[in-house]
Each structure stands twice: as C-alpha cells, then as structure tokens.
Amino acid sequence: MTINALFCFVFIGGIINFSPDFGRFKHIYYRMKKMIVFLVFLSLLLLSACSSDALNSNNLVSTTNGFAGINVTGISNESISDITAIVKDVRQGKIELSENEMEKVKFLINKYGLFDLVEVAFPDEELECLTLKSGMTVQKKDDFYIIGDILFTEEQIKEFYTKTESDNYSDDIQLRGSISTVSSHKWPGGTVYYEFDANMTQATKIMALEAMSHWASVTNINYMYKTSSNKDYIRFFNGVGCYSYIGRQGGKQDLSLDASWAVTGNAIHEFGHAIGLHHEHCKLNRDQDIIVSTNNIQQASLSNYTRVTSNSFFSFNFDYGSIMLYSSFNSTAINQNLPVMTTLSGSTWTAQRNSASAADIAVVNFIY
C-alpha cells in the first residue's frame, strides 16, 4: 500500500515538475516524497521481520534436541518421526522444550493426525509385572491391572482374556473394530456422564470436550455433565500418561489426559476405550492380516498386543485407519529402527490420531 502511494507521489511530482501552475507546491512535494521513501524503507524492514517470524512460527526449532526446521506446510513421515522422538524424549525427561515449542509440536500432531507413540499409563513408573496362569504378562498398580493405556479389574481380565476363540464376529465390511459386549460396560441410553477434576488444565478440558463432541457427532453416543443423581460417570483429570477403562465401570471412573503431551486425538482414543472399544491390533483374528513381532517388543509392553479372546464383538476385516490402532513403528519396540507390526506382505503403516474411522463409528453404533 505504501509503495502504491509512492507511485502516486512520483506521478504527481512529474506534473508539478513540468507544470508552472503547480510550481509553488514543489517544496511540499519534496518533503512528502522523502517521507514516503522513508516509510517504504521502514515497511520493507517490517515485512522482512514479519516473514522471519512467520517462518519461525511454522517450524519447530529447538537447540536442546538437535531437530530443526520441521515445516508445517511441508511435513513428511520423516518429520513425524522427529516429532514423536521429541515427545518421547520430553516424556522421559531427556530434553526440555519451552511451552511455545511444545505447543508447536502439539499443533503439528493435531494438524496431521499422525502419532507414532502409543498412549500409555504411568510411563515414568517401574510397575510390577505379573505373569498370569494363561501365560499373559500384565502390569499391576494398586488393585488394577494395566495393559498399555487400559486399566482392568481382575474380573475384567478374566472377562476378556480367558478363551482362545470366539463366535462373536462379523464379515460385514463396514464393521472392522473390536468392542466390549459385556452388558454392564454399555452406557445406558448411550449417554456418558462426566466431570472435570478441579486441577485439570483448561487446554485438556477443551481436548476432552472436543473428543466427546466428535464421538457424539458421528455415533449414537451423547454426553452430559454429571449431576448429584448420576452415580456412574467419567472423571477427566491430568494424570501421568493417557489412559482409560474399557466401557462403563460403575461409579466414578478415571480417564487421564497427560497435560504435558496429550492432544485431542489422544482424548478421542481414550474416550473410545471408555465407550467400550478395544485396540484394533488386539482383535482375536488379527493374525489373518498382520504380523506382530513379539521378539521386538519390550517385556513390559507385550500385553499391549495380547488378543482379546472373549466378551467382545470383532469383525473379519482389519481397519488400518482405526483411531484405536498403534503404528508399525512405535515406542514399545526394543529396536526402534524395526517395526513392531507389519502387514502379511511386510509393509508398514502409521497410525492416525485425527478422528474415528468409518469402521470405528460403525462398530460403536452396532452396540449403541
């Protein structure tokens, strides 16, 4: 705009220079021309500074971690690996990011919906590992068992992991998920009641609301803030790690969103568990579609890949787009350069944490 003004003044100057009638205005013109030139120069400096700021705001640049120049508009799978490596190092206390840098990381994950880490409960604790009679290894804390980001009571472990086969399956191409069929796990009328812990951050409250709104917009699930008459409800809070129970538990049940690294996609994933969804890669018949390399899985994480063998509905088809699926390469691997899971042909995939897939939606609506 200032440059256009300069052109106007140059044009006017030409008229003044060659018209004797306007000669008396020459001194005003010269003063204004100097001012315009100065303003143009100043504008160019400001434009350069703004461009630099915009570039910095679109890139993650951290001197503490060795990763630099992750561009928002030109992000690639390699950049996603960098992002998730950063988040993993933050979680493990190896590096520290400024609040602004962490917000950039979360923005990228939210924008592209790709997430190579796995949701996990109590990632910083050395939890007790138990081997059950079935040979299954699980972690234990207090009175509940932990499988990745899911908390189970002893009764629920028996409900889901006692049989070796199930007749509850469908070959409907639209139904590819795995969901609890235990009647007590279903939220009556599809209404989930919830409350927020008093110390929960505003950012994670918004994530929780966005997650519930997402599921409500695409399924028969709805949600309401609890009143004194609602005895069964979810308490959202900021714990260490992201985790949930499977379905309705009865009474108050916790759903954790880690304030240091959670994004909306994690909240959608955890709320999926809370309405009954299991992990896609834990379906009983998953071996017909994928290979799980147990020799490259950390001992404490082996149960994250144990198949659910009873009291669940599952389908014949495998959904690589499910929000309940882990990536082939993820943080449970012993060797991070090798995949934990592949297709039967050896190809790999990157999980998404953007939205529920069509199959996720279909299987929830099948139950609700």
d(CA 149, CA 255): 10
Judge whether 210 and 262 are in contact, CB under 8 Å.
no
Judge whether 117 and 266 are in contact, CB under 8 Å.
no
Please give the residue that has the higher pLDDT: either 193 or 178.
193
**What confidence category does residue 274 fall into, taking pLDDT thresholds of 50, 70 and 90?**
very high
d(CA 20, CA 26): 10
In tens, the pLDDT along 193-230 reads 999 999 999 999 999 999 999 999 999 999 999 999 99
Complete edge-to-edge strand list for the sheet that includes strand 178-180: 169-170, 312-315, 178-180
In this prediction the pTM is: 0.66
Please give the residue that has the higher pLDDT: either 59 or 229.
229
Closest CA to 136 of 152, 120, 118, 125: 152
> According to the model, what pLDDT value does residue 257 have?
94
Task: Flag whether pLDDT at 67 surpasses 50.
Answer: no
DSSP assignment, residue 241?
B
Task: Flag whether pLDDT at 347 surpasses 90.
Answer: yes
Q: Which residues pair with 254 in a beta bridge?
A: 235
Judge whether 350 and 327 are in contact, CB under 8 Å.
yes
> According to the model, what pLDDT value does residue 116 have?
56
Q: What is the mean pLDDT of residues 20-41?
A: 51
d(CA 201, CA 209): 13
Judge whether 312 and 178 are in contact, CB under 8 Å.
yes
What does the DSSP assignment read for 282-302? G-TTGGGTEEE-GGGB-GGGG
Position 13: which residue type? G
The gap from C-alpha 179 to its chain's centroid, in whole angstroms, comes to: 20
Q: What is the mean pLDDT of residues 159-180?
A: 48
* Domain ranges for the chain: 2-57, 59-112, 128-367
d(CA 157, CA 159): 5
- Decide: helix, strand or coil at residue 12: helix
The tokens 């009641």 sit on which residue?
A: 193
> According to the model, what pLDDT value does residue 138 have?
76
The CATH number of 128-367 is which of 2.60.120.640, 3.40.390.10, 3.30.365.10, 3.30.1360.120? Answer: 3.40.390.10
> According to the model, what pLDDT value does residue 7 have?
44
For residue 290, report the phi and psi dihedrals to the nearest 5 degrees: -135, 160
Closest CA to 229 of 193, 264, 189: 193
What is the CB neighbour count within 10 angstroms for residue 230?
Answer: 13
For residue 311, report the phi and psi dihedrals to the nearest 5 degrees: 55, 40
d(CA 192, CA 149): 20
